[in-house]
Structure 1
Amino acid sequence: MSSNFQLPRPLKRAQHLAGCRTVRVAILGQGAVGKTAITVRFITKRFIGEYDPTLETIYRHVSSVDGECVQFEVLDTAGQEEDAMLIEEKIKWAEGFIIAYSVTDRCSFDEVLRLRFLISHIHSGLKRGHNDAPPPVVIVANKKDLQYDRMVTTEEGDGIARALKCSFFEISARDSYEETVSVFNLLYREMATSGALSTFRRKVSSKLMDKIPRIPSNTTMSLSTRSFSLSSVKDFLTD
């Protein structure tokens, strides 16, 4: 689905952001499928293969999609087993979703159906103006470079995406920055055309979401370690 792909034009750091549209994106999926690698590849162009899997972060990144200034707020979830309240808060927060799985892990592929159902179920209970359509979801099969370890075929990924009425990409975050960017560009286009961005903007009042660290894309912090004093958003569940 990368035939309409266009690289975002780099924006000057001093550019005033008042005219930028802010969009909230959550990346969901089991652990070790490459959610953080996809996110960091998108905002820094770098590939980093190892991360602390217990940390959750919201990255802020400004780019241009089809000539429009867009500030992405990307929630990189931990992908570990969590209770219903935790996942519900994250799904309520986001306006668009990437569900990622690894082509080398069939269990992560099997998780796609459950996550898509949760997104539809939770958002169906929210008041979102006159737009009753579910929020846009892009299904991403990562690690296609690991062909000898492949357990899920391209046809299977495309098939479940069609059944769930979602867009589908098979990418390698390791090998291609362009493929990674195309995922976010397409998701933004679907959010813009579906009306997801023109409906009433929900006020999310949540200690859980407020305490997830925010990192701008021009940070000097080492993204390879993400050494926060926050061990996990679960620590704040009882605040």
Structure 2
Amino acid sequence: MTTNFTLPRPLRRAGSLASTRTVRIVILGQAAVGKTALTVRFITKRFIGEYDPTLETIYRHELSVGGEVVRFEILDTAGQEEDALLIEEKIKWGDGFVIVYSVTDRCSFDEVMRLCFLVNHVHAASRRSSMEPPPVVIVGNKKDLEFDRMVTTEDGENLSKGLKLRFREISAREGCEETAEVFHALYRDVLQLLSCSPTSFRRRAVSKLMEKIPRIHSTSTSSSTLGPSGRSFSFSSFRDLPQD
């Protein structure tokens, strides 16, 4: 059944807003599963044709959700093997998590459970026992590549049910509505946890590691942002595929 879904409009003048709730989201998953495609699809409604798979970026995007101004800070991780301390710092930074696999890659699906347990382990070590685990959404991407599929929808549903987590199977290539709903659902879960355990969301200090990750503000999509590494980033540098 198809439901009508209206995307909220981005807010252009952030400086004029009275108050803004900030939510930090970390995108996890193996390389080449579509983490950047998912993130930029949500922010710009564009689908990325080519990009650097090793690039790690924090995207900042403000919009109105349910009448409330929300600043999404989204960490798009590279998805490559790295030091355990590095991945733990990134997990500590996040309020909610999107764990992505490709339905065309069984290995990326097998990695999901490990990442889910890692998220819970890292947050459990830094919270009181009475607090709930952080919100997580499992996302199966590339469902449009049906002839290359190696992971069934039922596989994803069974895993999410076993872990008691939300599950979405999407195509970042084909549309932006189901992609946006991933982030909206995660935001709703963050709000619910906030109402139950306010101390779960004490704003944590940003480590030196996190400060080194380049930032991109969605209000500057036509201009470049110079990151601490000296490299220049902009949404306009990505090559788009045809729109829906």
- TM-score bin (small chain): 0.7 to 0.9
Secondary structure (helix, strand or coil) at the match of 1:19 reads: coil
Aligned position for 1:73: 73
| Equivalent in the alignment of 1:213 | 214
Identity %: 65
Structure-1 separation of matches of 2:146 and 2:134:
32
Alignment CA distance shift 1:120-1:5 (3 Å): farther
CA contact (8 A) 1:103 1:151 kept: yes
SS of 1:58's equivalent in the other structure is strand
Given that 1:6 and 1:182 are in contact with CA atoms closer than 8 Å, whether structure 2 keeps it comes out as no
Q: 1:99 to 1:2 in 2, by over 3 A?
A: farther
User: 1:178 and 1:213, CA in 2 relative to 1: closer, same or farther beyond 3 A?
Assistant: same
What secondary structure does 1:49 align onto?
A: strand
Moved more, 5-14 or 36-45: 5-14
CA distance in 2, matches of 1:125, 1:57: 26
Query: Which runs of 5 or more residues in structure 2 are unaligned?
Result: 233-244
Structure 1 residues 91-170: aligned runs within 5 Å: 91-127=91-127, 132-170=131-169
Tell me the distance in 2 between the aligned counterparts of 1:221 and 1:77.
22
SS class of match (1:60): strand
Q: Please give the per-residue CA displacement for 1:74-109, whole angstroms capped at 9, x wherever unaligned.
A: 000000011100110000000000000000000000
Instruction: Pick closer, same or farther for the CA change 1:115–1:52 going to 2, 3 Å.
Output: same
Q: 1:2 touches 1:179 (CA, 8 Å); kept in 2?
A: no
SS at match of 2:16: coil
**Paired amino acid for 1:182:** E
Contact kept, 8 Å, 2:14 with 2:62, in 1: the verdict is no
Partners of 1:2 and 1:108 lie apart in 2 by 29
Deviation at 1:203, TM superposition (A): 2.4
- Give the drift of 1:15: 5.8
Q: What is the root-mean-square deviation of aligned Cα atoms in Å? A: 2.4
Gap regions ≥5 residues in structure 1: 232-239
Range with bigger deviation, 103-112 or 210-219: 210-219
Distance 1:3 1:15, change over 3 A: farther
User: Residue deviations 1:8-32, cap 9 Å, x none?
Assistant: 2443435623411000000000000
Partners of 2:102 and 2:119 in 1: CA distance: 20
Question: Partner of 1:180: helix, strand, or coil?
Answer: helix
Note closer, same or farther for the CA distance 1:69–1:97 as it changes in structure 2 (3 Å cut). same
TM-score scaled by structure 2?
0.86
SS at match of 1:23: strand
Matches of 1:5 and 1:90 in 2, distance apart? 32
CA contact (8 A) 2:93 2:206 kept: no
2:43, 2:176 → 1: CA distance? Answer: 10
TM-score by length of structure 1 reads 0.87
